[in-house]
Amino acid sequence: MTESDNYLARIGTLIRDARQHSGLTQAQLAAELRTSQSAVNRIEKGQQNLTLDMLARIGSALDSELVSVGTTTGPSHLRVKGGTTLSGSIDVKSSKNAGVALLCAALLNTGTTVLRKVARIEEVNRLLEVLESIGVKTTWLNDQNDLELVVPEDLDLRAMDAAAARRTRSIIMFLGPLMHRVEEFELPYAGGCDLGTRTVEPHMTALRPFGLKVLATDGSYHASAARGVAPERPIVLTERGDTVTENALLAAARHDGVTVIRNASPNYMVQDLCFFLEKLGVRIEGIGTTTLRVTGKRDIRGDVDYAPSEDPIEAMSLITAAIVTSSQITVRRVPIEFMEIELALLEEMGFRYDRSAEYLAENGHTRLVDITTHPSKLKAPIDKIHPMPFPGLNIDNLPFFAVIAATAEGQTMLHDWVYENRAIYLTELNKLGAQVKLLDPHRVLIEGPTHWSGTELVCPPALRPAVVILIAMLAAKGTSVLRSVYVINRGYEDLALRLNALGAEIETFRDI
């Protein structure tokens, strides 16, 4: 293979990964690019020459700077000088997943909703673009990221920004609120036919009892809502999913009656949504359990002010950075009830830390602590590490145990039974010196300890593995480069700057 062919093959692989991460089929990407599916297939196989214009169009279609060349700014990258020790204190920011759920829930209220300290990330930006396009007035109030939303009586759903809608998977949570407003509507989504059917079916189990019917076609949900239909018995969710539970809650909130939801997710973002709905006058019993009893209101209008709680996944990211760099830092405002299994497992591995007394988050419910880490010599756990629904180990925290296990003495197995192929991205740690063996699409075997060394990598299209690689670079000797970090910005606000405030040396730069 010539150097040119090798380059095209690498570009093709990056495009394929970014497309799959966006949930698009080859046919849908071809439609966005105004080309044929066979052309997209050749591009992904590295069998077609690409102009700068085509690369820029692909980057725009996939909402990814992975291939955004030929633009005025170009993709952003991170240059990391590794081997530094972190010190100082840092506050955990508000939950990304709670934030997007609350933006969808604001559609229930034909009044003014103020959300405090909203994570100002790309996922939130996409949802705001969708909301503004249908008539919602959104205003950032101050530099504390307080956000005001004013929802009109009538929404213009035909004017919906389809491009922005396809770039956020959270759009599916519009089903619950919108079914109370209009009898028929259409939502764009990023998945293809097969993915769409699979994705929407658990939601339909939750929403069908309220009279909602959804047909998932190539790129759109066609929804129709029958009036006067109410659940006749408890709704039993077929999967204990976070967004599925949230959609059921959003539908139940404006049902003038009692809805019982069984096998509900009690996870952190669901609890935040429940507390917010209570502020709107909805009565909810069983918050934090798998059975919710919701007494809704037919009409919700009023001024509401709510502060979503802190993000346990960001808390885990920061604690992981401290562990891998053998640093003593204080991570403040850690939502402890959503971190207890992770911390118990880390203690078993030898992690030493101090923990403050508990205090309440601004929402008045979530329990917080401050955690001070201490440099610790870790050993591999006896059993494999695997996620479970809350109160088990959070699926989004599992990838952080890959880089932690790589610093520990011994052999650790990680089993990511939830996501197909996400485990493969963890093998990128090998390029920094780790020994990560992929056993199958769901399991990796990690041998530690690792002598990290710097290198240059392209950011994988999955958020948590991307941050895991950045954390490993903090520990690696020499200078590393992490290219095209847009995916990190989708889920984290100013992560590099905040790590620099703790003593990291991370520089953001662009090629163009």
Confidence of residue 68 (pLDDT cuts 50, 70, 90): very low
More confident residue, 2 or 480: 480
pLDDT at 199 over 70: no
Task: Give the per-residue pLDDT at 51.
Answer: 74
pLDDT at 193 over 80: no
More confident residue, 216 or 390: 390
Q: What confidence tens digit (pLDDT) does each residue in 404-433 have?
A: 999 999 999 999 988 777 888 899 999 999
Task: Give the per-residue pLDDT at 16.
Answer: 81
pTM above 0.85, yes or no: no
Segment of 161-165, 191-195, 350-354 carrying the highest mean pLDDT: 350-354
Confidence of residue 489 (pLDDT cuts 50, 70, 90): confident
pLDDT at 195 over 50: no
Task: Give the per-residue pLDDT at 22.
Answer: 65
Angle, helices 3-22 vs 37-44, to 10°: value is 120
**Percent helix / strand / coil, the chain, rounded to 5:** 40, 25, 35
425 within 8 A of 444, measured Cβ to Cβ: no
Q: What confidence tens digit (pLDDT) does each residue in 18-66 have?
A: 777 666 788 888 887 878 888 888 888 888 877 777 777 787 777 665 5
Confidence of residue 71 (pLDDT cuts 50, 70, 90): very low
Confidence of residue 194 (pLDDT cuts 50, 70, 90): very low
Task: Give the per-residue pLDDT at 191.
Answer: 46
Confidence of residue 89 (pLDDT cuts 50, 70, 90): very high
pLDDT at 493 over 90: no
pLDDT at 69 over 50: no
Confidence of residue 192 (pLDDT cuts 50, 70, 90): very low
The full 3-state SS of 457-510, as one line of letters, equals EECCCCHHHHHHHHHHHHHCECEEEEECCHHHHHHCCCHHHHHHCCCCEEEEEE
As a whole number, mean pLDDT of residues 383-398 equals 92
Contacts 24+ apart (CB under 8 A), 420-423: 422/462, 422/465
Task: Give the per-residue pLDDT at 18.
Answer: 74
As a whole number, mean pLDDT of residues 429-444 equals 94
Task: Give the per-residue pLDDT at 254.
Answer: 92
As a whole number, mean pLDDT of residues 93-101 equals 94
Q: Give me the percent of the chain exceeding a pLDDT of 90.
A: 62
As a whole number, mean pLDDT of residues 235-246 equals 91
Residues whose CB is less than 8 angstroms from the CB of residue 380 and which lie 6 or more positions away in sequence, other chains included: 349, 405, 408, 409, 410, 411, 412, 448
Confidence of residue 198 (pLDDT cuts 50, 70, 90): very low
| Whole-number average pLDDT of the chain | 89
Q: What confidence tens digit (pLDDT) does each residue in 132-173 have?
A: 999 999 999 998 999 999 999 999 999 999 888 887 878 889
301 within 8 A of 110, measured Cβ to Cβ: yes
